[in-house]
């Protein structure tokens, strides 16, 4: 599994645990809805600043956002 795919799975898990749609997360994190969709599907590489905004939207630390994300070769 690629790192982008692993992050996408983590992002989707966190979003669904909150009961949020992609649109709601996009508003809370000030990120384009389509970009978030691409992140969840492993098609984008987020910047550190974007990861921070997403973690703030969830009310968690950046390290918690990335918890369990590992590159499996």
pLDDT in tens, 21-38: 999 999 999 999 999 999
**What DSSP state is assigned to residue 21?**
-
71 against 43, higher pLDDT:
43
Give the span between the Cα atoms of 14 and 71, in whole angstroms: 19
Tell me how far apart the alpha carbons of residues 18 and 16 are, in angstroms, rounded to a whole number. 5
What's the fold here for domain 3-65?
A: 434 Repressor (Amino-terminal Domain) (1.10.260)
Q: How far apart are the first and last CA of the chain?
A: 7
Residue 71's pLDDT band, with cuts at 50, 70 and 90, is: low
Q: How far apart are CA 73 and CA 62, in angstroms?
A: 24
């Amino acid at each position: 599994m690629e790192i982008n795919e692993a992050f996408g799975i983590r992002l989707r898990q966190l979003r669904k645990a909150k009961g949020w749609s992609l649109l709601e997360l996009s508003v809370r994190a000030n990120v384009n809805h389509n970009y978030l969709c691409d992140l969840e599907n492993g098609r984008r590489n987020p910047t550190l600043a974007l990861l921070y905004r997403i973690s703030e939207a969830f009310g968690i630390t950046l390290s918690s956002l990335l918890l369990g994300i590992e590159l499996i070769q």
